[in-house]
Amino acid sequence: QVQLVESGGGLVQPGGSLRLSCAASGFALRYYAIAWFRQAPGKEREGVSCIHDSDVSTYYRDSATGRVTIFRDRSKNTVILEMNSLEPEDTAVYYCAGKYWVCSSNPSEYDYWGQGTQVTVSS
């Protein structure tokens, strides 16, 4: 059974950091692009970052530049999203998603989704 499971969300103060993990089971992440999306209440799902099978990474939001890092831990079949200097505007449910080969900012192109992990940035 193919599954993506996110972990690492929680409550953090503004300026803090979080490390989100996306663990794959039932398939190998090799040949798959893995992306992180987020969705805040009342807003559309938006792309945060994505990493190709070749480990080339893409960041979809200008405000993520310099604050977000995505990378693979191939030994654990996991993709990590590290977020720093978090702001209240980063509060959302964060999802990881997988599709074959090439990254896309369009969530409808992804075949596999995790259940999401809540990130709340508040003092």
For residue 115, the surrounding DSSP H or E stretch is none
Question: pLDDT tens digits for the chain (123 residues)?
Answer: 789 999 999 999 999 999 999 998 887 777 889 999 999 999 999 999 999 877 777 777 765 668 999 999 888 889 999 999 999 999 999 999 999 888 999 999 999 999 999 999 999
pLDDT at 59: 78
pLDDT at 82: 96
Categorise residue 101: left if φ over 0, alpha if ψ from -120 to 50, beta otherwise.
left
Contact 114, 95 (CB under 8 A): yes
pLDDT at 119: 98
DSSP letters along 64-114, please?
GTTTEEEEEEGGGTEEEEEE-S--GGG-EEEEEEEEESS--S-GGG-SEE-
pLDDT at 25: 85
